Amino acid sequence: MTRSPNCPLCETDGGELVWMGDRARLILVEHDRFPGFCRVVWNDHVAELSDLSDADQAWLMRLVVRAERVVREVMTPDKVNLAAFGNMVPHLHWHIIPRYRWDTHFPEAVWAAPQRAADPVRVAELAGRLPALRAALSALGSDD
C-alpha cells in the first residue's frame, strides 16, 4: 500500500472504521454534531480521483453511491451532501453527510458558521440509528 509521511489518512483510519477492503475503507466521523457523517477513503495515498485507473474510479464511485443509499435509508435525511475536497488532507476521500433542515449549519456546509443552536433531542434520536448504520455500511464491502 502506498503511504505518505505525515498524512493523517495514511497514519490512521481517520475515524471509526466500519469496513476495510483492499482498495478503500468506510469510516464514521462527527458523531456528536452530525450522526451518520461518514467517509469513503481510498487506502493508497493519491490526491485526486484522476490518479486512479478508470476501473478503480468506477469502483470507488459505485461504493460512494452505495454508501449514500445506505445513509439515506437508515438516517432519512432531508438531503445528502457529497464532497471530495482534499485541500486540508490531500488524500482521496469522499464525505457523505446526511443533512436536515433543522441541523446547526443547514443550508450551509457543515464547515461553515452555525446557523442555529443544536437540537439535542433530534441529534440523540439520530445517534440511536448509528448501530443500524454501522451494520448496513459494514455489509457494503462484502463484494469488494
CA pseudo-torsion sign 10, 11, 17, 23? positive
Torsion angle in degrees (nearest 10) through CA of 94, 72, 26, 118: 80
Residue 2 forms part of a structural domain: no
Residue 22 forms part of a structural domain: yes
Q: Letter for the amino acid at 81?
A: N
- For residue 133, what is the domain's CATH number? 3.30.428.10
Whether the full predicted model's pTM is greater than 0.85, yes or no, is: yes
Residue 144 forms part of a structural domain: no
Domain count, the chain: 1
To the nearest 10 degrees (0 to 180), the angle between helices 130-140 and 54-75 is 160
Instruction: Kindly state the DSSP code that residue 96 receives in the 8-state scheme.
Output: E
Residues 51 and 84: their CA atoms lie apart, in Å, by 14
Chunked mean pLDDT (size 10), the chain, 144 residues:
86 94 95 94 96 97 97 98 91 97 96 96 97 95 58
Domain that holds residue 51: 8-138
